[in-house]
Homo-oligomer: A and B are copies of this chain.
Amino acid sequence: MQEITYREAILAALQEEMRRDDKILIMGEDIGPSGGPFKTCQGLYEEFGAARVRDTPIAETGFVGAALGLAITGYRPIAEIMFADFLGVCFDQIVNSIAKHRFMSGGKVKAPLVIRAIGGAGLRFAAQHSQTGESWLLSVPGLTIVCPSSPNEAYGMLRAAIRYDNPVVVFEHKALLSTKGPVDIGGPIPPLTGPKMLREGSDATIVASLAMVGRSLEAAELLAKDGIEAEVFDIRSLRPMITGPIVESVKKTNILLTVEEQAQVGGWGAEVAAQVTDAAFDYLDAPPGRVTLPDFPVPYSPPLEDSVIPSPERIAAAVKALV
C-alpha cells in the first residue's frame, strides 16, 4: 500500500491501463501537454503520444460522441469532463446514444467507454462549477455510474471501469483530489459496483457518496463519543443501485441515513431509502433520514457555501434525531 493522493491515484490507474492495452485512449480539454486542468493526466501525453492522449477543442458533444464511435469500432476510449457541470452540454450523447446504442442494435454493438467527470462543491466555484452531477444521470438505463470516495477507490474503480465492456460514468470529486490515502497499486481489480462498509456499528447505518463519505466517517466518530456506533457505507455505485449489504446492515441497526451532495428531490438517497424500506420494513425503527444539499443552486460566498454542504455535525445530528 502506497500513500498517494486521489489525483495521483487517478493518474496511476490511467497510466497502468494505457500501458496494458494500447486500444485505450483518452480525450479531453487541456489533458495533453498541460496534463489536465486538475493534473489528473500529467505525463500521459509524453508517454503515450498525441494519438492516444487527445487534447480536444471545447466540444463535449463532439468528443463524448466520438468516444462512442471509437468504442463500437474496437477502441476503449476515456473522455474527461473537466467539471461534471459540463455534462449538460453533452447530455444527449450520453443518454440517447451511449446508454442505448447496444440495446437499440439488438445487443450486437459493444461500447466499452469511460466518462470521467470531476464535480463537487466546497472550493468556491459557484453555481455552475460545483455540482457533483450524480443526479442528472441517475435515471438512465444502460449506464453504469460509480463515484470513488478515496484514492484507493479512485484507483480501483477506474481500472475496473476501463476494463468493463459497457459505458461507465465515473464521478470524481474535486475536493478530494488532494486528499491522501493508502492505495493498493497493482493490486487486484476490485468490483466495479456495489456498496462497501467502511466502519462497523450497531446503532445506525449511514450511506454516503464521494466527499460525503469522509464527512460521514467523521460524523461516526462524533457519534461514538456519545455512545452511538454508526455503520458507514460508501455507496460506490449509483447504477446499478445495489443495496443488499445496506439492507443487512439496517436489519442490525434499524436506522438508515443517507448523505449526498445534491438536492433531495431526484437524489439517490430516495432510492436507497425506498429499497431499504421495501426490504427491511419491519426492521426500521424510524423512517429513513436523508441529509442533502438544500433545494437551490450552490452559492458562491464562503459562509453560504459552507453552510449548505452537509457537515459531520449535521450528519451526526441527523442520526441522533433518528435513534
A residues whose Cβ falls under 8 Å from a Cβ of B: 85-86, 88-89, 91-96, 99-100, 103-104, 126-128, 135-136, 138-142, 238-241, 262-271, 273-274, 277-279, 281, 284, 286-290, 294-297, 299
Give Cα A290–Cα B278 distance, bound, in whole angstroms. 10
In the complex, are the beta carbons of B135 and A297 less than 8 A apart? no
Which 8 interchain pairs have the tightest Cβ spacing?
Answer: A139-B266, A88-B92, A135-B139, A138-B266, A91-B91, A270-B270, A281-B287, A278-B287
User: Which one of A96, A142, A278, A284 has the greatest number of beta carbons of chain B within 10 Å?
Assistant: A96
Query: Please, which residue of chain B has its CB at the minimum distance from the CB of A91?
Result: B91
CA distance A141 to B130 in the complex (A): 13
Question: CA–CA, A95 to B90, complex, Å?
Answer: 12
Taken together as a complex, chains A and B put the C-alpha atoms of A241 and B284 apart, in Å, by 24
A270: which B residues are within 8 A, CB to CB?
270-271, 273-274
A262 touches B96 (CB 8 A): no
Q: Check A273–B277 contact: CB distance below 8 A.
A: yes
A95 near B100: Cβ-Cβ < 8 Å: no
Query: Inside 8 A of A135's CB, which chain B residues have their CB?
Result: 138-139, 266
The answer to whether B100 touches A128 (Cβ under 8 A) is: yes
Contact between A92 and B95 (Cβ–Cβ < 8 Å)? no
**Closest CB-CB distance, A197 to chain B, in whole Å?**
21
A297, B107: Cα distance in complex, Å: 12
Tell me the smallest distance from the CB of A128 to a CB of chain B, in Å: 5
Q: Which of B92, B142, B266 contacts A296 (CB 8 A)?
A: B142
- Pairs across A and B, CB under 8 Å, 26 listed: A88-B92, A88-B96, A89-B91, A91-B136, A100-B128, A100-B297, A103-B299, A104-B297, A135-B266, A138-B139, A138-B265, A139-B263, A140-B266, A141-B294, A141-B297, A142-B297, A238-B265, A241-B265, A264-B271, A265-B268, A266-B271, A274-B274, A274-B277, A274-B287, A278-B287, A278-B288
Q: How far is the CB of A323 from chain B (nearest CB, A)?
A: 15
Inter-chain CA distance A273–B270, complex, in Å, is 8
In the assembly, what is the distance between CA of A10 and CA of B176, in Å? Answer: 48
Expressed in whole angstroms, the Cα–Cα distance for A278 and B256 within the complex equals 12
CB neighbours of A273 from chain B (8 A): 270, 273-274, 277
Bound: A120/B239 CA distance, A: 23
| Known contacts A128-B96, A136-B95, A273-B274; A295 and B141 CB within 8 A of each other | yes
Separation of A297 and B279 alpha carbons in the complex (Å): 26
